[in-house]
């Protein structure tokens, strides 16, 4: 029953209305009843009952029934529960008749006839209710997993994507990127990524184990690398971030700790973008594990942090407006994180001067060469090779510079993104040709009616040989007929290409039987069987259609 007013006020309203309702006329009773039902939110029938009967009569009317199973039945259930090794109520219900008979036959239990009858009639739900106090005493207070995490989570404020506005440098987002290769089983390396919302400055560190204490140590290590102090940290709801260690560290260093909403990745849009454009761009999606791989990734991040923050411009959203169903976005001119730090008025001039000095000393080509070397090294370690970390190769920088002009010819140059070479298309058959014996007949039909479709020929062939060619071989015949039509078109097109019959035959044979070709700088073998190529070299005539691809 739902009350708009409190129960005490409702009781006062009933007492004030009861006498007036009892003494008034029938017409007035209807009006009083409507008003009373509207104020107390009671139905009209129950409002009449409340106003006509005193409170004592209502209490006697709602009395509870006497318990059916007394203390004797409860004590007997406890004995049987202990004798059954504390099984659940449903199992004990099926076991009660057997236990009662066995214990009484051995003289361990003597029950009154009435108690015995009630004990055999008790239900499984009643058994569970009667045994609830002893079970609670045995088990004690049940602890739920994640309760401590939930308590810590309530202490961390939620910050959505709409709450950022224009923050000052120092409010960062932190996230972990798993290098698991598609399987979360076992141990693998995680990358801790930190990016500043205002400037886009990004730092990365590898984590061999993803724990709260190690995350705090990694953030403490990153803080001196930043050109500004950390004022706030925004994280997701993972247990590696939402814990007492992180909360204590932020409180001691006067850092505001906030979190996004669960399952709302747009609340950490800036760090999610860097996870793809920085971490996945340099390391890909392969699985990395072990301490040697973590050391190699750490050296890669030493070069990549300078390359990204000083030589990689990025866009930053300036405004966004919705025009009907379209969203129009306007971006600031692309700039590097270092340029945004230099343009910020809140950064001290001494820090800006240090960044300018560092920018003049950095060589982007040397950083890129170091990244490529470490990517190749990490990819080889991931494939199972045990290799030491390669030394710095300043002397080969000129060779790397010369290779940049032709690197595009090799395709993907990042070893962490390279895929295994696809196998060469096979030119041999793996199954017997189902139309080898019937092909001369089909060829004669095609010469008679060149416009006939492969489906018509196949139906005609099935009528001639009903039990030999199933329906799933129609596609094979269609490929054979298409190859024959192409060969005939080439023969008609290149007839007369030379000055004599021999030249014409050579031209047709050259078109129908090409030799090795060069594609993208690599020689590819002919798509003909070896025996066909041997026949062509010896000058023996053979039929191309006898060996379709």
- pTM over cut 0.75: no
DSSP label at residue 140: -
Count of all residues that appear for the chain in the document: 549
Q: Does residue 402 lie within any of the structural domains?
A: no
Q: What confidence score (pLDDT) does residue 253 get?
A: 93
Query: Does residue 188 sit in the same domain as residue 324?
Result: yes
CB atoms within 10 A of CB 485: 13
Tokens describing residue 144 = 């739920």
Query: Does residue 135 sit in the same domain as residue 170?
Result: no
- Say how far apart CA 197 and CA 167 lie, in whole Å: 7
Query: Does residue 130 sit in the same domain as residue 205?
Result: no
Q: Does residue 54 lie within any of the structural domains?
A: yes
Q: Which of 340, 361, 382 delimits the end of a domain?
A: 361
Q: Does residue 382 lie within any of the structural domains?
A: no
Query: Does residue 242 sit in the same domain as residue 182?
Result: yes
Q: What confidence score (pLDDT) does residue 396 get?
A: 66
CB-based burial, 340-360: b 16+ in 10 Å, e otherwise: bbbebeebeeeebeebeeebe
DSSP label at residue 334: P
Residue 205, strand partner residues: 192
Reduce the DSSP state of residue 165 to 3 states and report it. coil
Query: Does residue 210 sit in the same domain as residue 164?
Result: yes
Q: What confidence score (pLDDT) does residue 360 get?
A: 92
Q: Does residue 543 lie within any of the structural domains?
A: yes
CA distances from 26 to 6, 17, 31, 410, 445 (A): 29, 15, 9, 100, 105
Q: What confidence score (pLDDT) does residue 549 get?
A: 33
Tokens describing residue 63 = 């009395």
Mean pLDDT of the chain: 81
Query: Does residue 342 sit in the same domain as residue 267?
Result: yes
- Looking at residue 198, which CATH number applies to its domain? 3.30.420.10
Q: Does residue 278 lie within any of the structural domains?
A: yes
Q: Does residue 415 lie within any of the structural domains?
A: no
Query: Does residue 168 sit in the same domain as residue 238?
Result: yes
Q: What confidence score (pLDDT) does residue 70 get?
A: 85
Residue 159, judged by CB atoms within 10 A of its CB (0-12, 13-18, 19+), counts as buried
Contact 305, 383 (CB under 8 A): no
Q: What confidence score (pLDDT) does residue 275 get?
A: 92
Query: Does residue 155 sit in the same domain as residue 119?
Result: no
Range of the domain at 325: 149-361
Q: Does residue 404 lie within any of the structural domains?
A: no
Query: Does residue 102 sit in the same domain as residue 183?
Result: no
Cα 156–Cα 162–Cα 166 angle in degrees, nearest 5: 95
Query: Does residue 282 sit in the same domain as residue 221?
Result: yes
Query: Does residue 312 sit in the same domain as residue 173?
Result: yes
Q: What confidence score (pLDDT) does residue 495 get?
A: 62
Q: How many domains does the chain have?
A: 5
Those residues of the chain that have pLDDT short of 70 are 1-4, 54-65, 141-150, 393-396, 420-424, 426, 495-549
Q: Does residue 545 lie within any of the structural domains?
A: yes
Q: What confidence score (pLDDT) does residue 176 get?
A: 94
Q: Which of 15, 41, 61 delimits the end of a domain?
A: 61
Q: Which of 139, 168, 185 delimits the end of a domain?
A: 139
Query: Does residue 245 sit in the same domain as residue 342?
Result: yes
DSSP label at residue 254: T
């Amino acid at each position: 029953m739902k009350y708009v007013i409190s129960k005490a006020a409702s009781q006062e309203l009933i007492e004030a209305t009861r006498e007036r309702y009892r003494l008034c006329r029938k017409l007035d009773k209807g009006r009083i009843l409507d008003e009373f039902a509207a104020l107390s939110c009671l139905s009209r029938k129950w409002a009449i009952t409340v106003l006509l009967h005193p409170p004592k009569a209502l209490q006697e009317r709602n009395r509870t029934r006497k318990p059916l199973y007394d203390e004797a039945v409860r004590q007997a259930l406890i004995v049987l529960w202990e004798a059954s090794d504390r099984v659940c109520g449903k199992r004990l219900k099926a076991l009660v008749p057997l236990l009662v008979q066995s214990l009484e036959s051995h003289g361990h239990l003597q029950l009154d006839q009435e108690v015995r009858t009630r004990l055999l009639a008790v239900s499984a739900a009643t058994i569970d209710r009667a045994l609830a106090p002893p079970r609670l005493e045995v088990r004690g207070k049940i602890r739920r997993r994640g309760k401590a995490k939930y308590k810590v989570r309530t202490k961390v404020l939620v910050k959505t994507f709409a709450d950022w506005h224009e923050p000052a440098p120092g409010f960062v987002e932190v996230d972990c990127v798993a290098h698991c290769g598609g399987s979360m089983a076992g141990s693998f390396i995680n990358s801790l990524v930190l990016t500043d919302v205002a400037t886009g400055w990004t730092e990365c560190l590898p984590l061999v184990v993803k724990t709260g204490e190690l995350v705090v140590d990694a953030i403490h290590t990153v803080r001196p690398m930043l050109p500004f102090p950390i004022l706030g940290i925004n994280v997701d709801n993972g247990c590696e971030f939402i814990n007492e260690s992180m909360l204590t560290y932020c409180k001691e260093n006067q850092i505001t700790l906030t979190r996004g909403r669960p399952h709302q990745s747009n609340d950490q849009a800036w760090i999610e973008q860097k996870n793809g454009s920085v971490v996945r761009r340099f390391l890909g999606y392969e699985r990395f594990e072990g301490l040697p791989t973590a050391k190699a990734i750490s050296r890669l991040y030493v070069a990549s942090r300078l390359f990204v923050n000083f030589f990689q411009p990025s866009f930053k959203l300036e405004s966004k407006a919705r025009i009907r169903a379209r969203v129009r976005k306007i971006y600031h001119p692309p700039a590097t994180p270092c340029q945004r730090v230099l343009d910020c008025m809140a950064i001290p001039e001494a820090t800006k001067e240090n960044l300018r000095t560092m920018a003049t000393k950095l060589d982007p080509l040397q950083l890129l060469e170091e990244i490529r070397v470490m990517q190749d090294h990490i990819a080889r370690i991931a494939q199972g090779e045990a290799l030491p970390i390669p030394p710095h190769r300043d002397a080969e920088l000129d060779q790397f510079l010369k290779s940049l002009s032709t690197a595009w010819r090799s395709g993907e140059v990042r070893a962490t993104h390279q895929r295994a070479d696809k196998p060469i298309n096979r030119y041999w058959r793996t199954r017997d040709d189902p139309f080898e014996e019937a092909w001369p007949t089909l060829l004669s039909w095609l010469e008679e009616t060149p416009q006939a479709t492969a489906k018509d020929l196949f139906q005609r062939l099935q009528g001639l040989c009903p039990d030999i060619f199933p329906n799933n071989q129609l596609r094979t015949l269609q490929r054979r007929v298409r190859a024959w039509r192409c060969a005939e078109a080439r023969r008609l097109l290149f007839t007369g290409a030379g000055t004599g019959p021999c030249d014409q035959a050579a031209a047709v044979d050259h078109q129908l039987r090409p030799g090795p070709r060069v594609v993208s700088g690599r020689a590819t073998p002919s798509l003909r069987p070896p025996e066909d190529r041997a026949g062509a070299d010896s000058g023996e005539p053979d039929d191309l259609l006898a060996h379709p691809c």
